[in-house]
Structures are given as structure tokens and as C-alpha cells.
Amino acid sequence: MDSVKWRAEHYIVNRDSAYADPRLGLKKLQGGNKRFIEGKSIKPRQNYETIKKLENGQAPFAIIVGCSDSRVPNEMIFDQGLGDLFIIRTAGQVSAAASYGSMEFAVLKLKTKLIVVLGHTECGAVAAAVERPENVPGHIVTLINDIKPAAVKSSHMHGDPVNNAVRQNVIDQVNSLRDLDPILHKKYVDGEILIVGAVYDIHTGKVEFLPETLVNLPKAKK
């Protein structure tokens, strides 16, 4: 099989292009997830040669703000390799000062132009916010309190209340990051970065990029 046909059949997007253009970065993630669910994973950049290349620095093409759930291994579900993804994970992908600073570091220092907020179905942290248990121990309550607004906002929707809240939580987090001063908001409205949301289905392995976060995007800065 010639290389052009192989690249087409495996949804390959050039890595350097994905780093330079966040819209191509998004396509690269979508293609990687297609490979993953179709059993075509190529496991790129997962070798000693790549380790040596990365000794002098990193240039990830996407920032993934995701949940800590062990069933959602980011590099695997997007079929990416060493140095490709800058990953920030907390339960319910709840962000606070340290997470914000990490994103700003990647955007300013590493020049990463794509941020993806990644939730997943049947998220335990979101389920807790929906169920609103009493006497929650330790710092777990801070996670629940951050997710509660999404649970309340989605409570009128038809369907599974937890998965509805998962989607709403992602949408709310995307909007929050787009408005985050002083760095991300300006970069976003100026078209220098993209911030979008997605949900991973733990039953199928498929990542759905939420349409609500893909509309009215700022024009890319030339």
C-alpha cells in the first residue's frame, strides 16, 4: 500500500501542521480516536528514538483538561505518543489555580494552541454532584461544589441525569476557560488558540466533540 493511501485510511494529520494550526490539531485528535475505536491504532512516537528527540524540549500540539478516571487514558484513546499531549487531570476535570497556571504555561511557553476539555460518561465526580450526598469527607466536597451548577442546570433535561450533567459540566468549563483573564481570554478572542469540549464514552471508546463548543469559533489568526 502506498503511503498516501495508508495515511488516508488511518486519518493521519501531519504533526507539525497540527502544532501550528489548532483546527488541524483537532482533526488529528479526531483521527486518532477513529483509529482507536476501529482497532487501527498505530501508537506513534512511542519509542526510544522519540525519547531522545524530546531531551531538548517539548512542543505538544494539544492541552487536554480531563478527568482522573483510570478508564480514560488520554494518549491511548487519541492514539498519540510522547510529547504530543499536555495533560491536566483532576476528578471531574475541575480546574483551579494550579490547573489554570498549567494551561497558561503551555500556551505561553510551549506555544500550544488547542485546549480540549474532556469529560466522560458515568463520571463518579459528576454523579456525586447530581446525587448531592450529605457529610462528604475531606476535600471531596470542593469537587462536588464546583460541579453542582452544571448538575442543577441540566436537571430539567430528558435522559440520563449524570450524563446530561457531564455534558453541561464540559460546556460550562469550556466557557469558563474562554473567559479566563488575563491570558486565555485574549488569546481565544484574538483567534490564537481554540478551546473546545468533548465527552468520552466509556462503553464504546468514542470521543464526541460537543457541537455546542464548535460553533461561532473566532477566526484563526493569520
Burial class (CB in 10 A: 0-12, 13-18, 19+), 202: middle
Q: Is 156 annotated as a binding residue?
A: no
| Alpha-carbon distances of 207 from 29, 40, 61, 201, rounded to whole Å | 9, 16, 18, 6
Q: Is 69 annotated as a binding residue?
A: yes
Return the SS3 of 85. strand
Q: Binding residue per annotation — 203?
A: no
Hey, what amino acid is at 109?
A: K
DSSP 36-81: HHTT----TT-SHHHHHHGGG----SEEEEE---TT--HHHHTT--
CA distance 117 to 102: 14
- Cell representation of residue 10: 488511518
Determine whether the annotation assigns residue 67 to a binding site: yes
Q: Read off the C-alpha cell for 165.
A: 450533567
Q: What are phi and psi of 86, to 5 degrees?
A: -100, 110
Instruction: Give the C-alpha separation, 96 to 188, whole Å.
Output: 19
User: Annotated binding site: which residue ranges?
Assistant: 67, 69, 120, 123
User: Annotated binding site for Zn(2+): which residue ranges?
Assistant: 67, 69, 120, 123
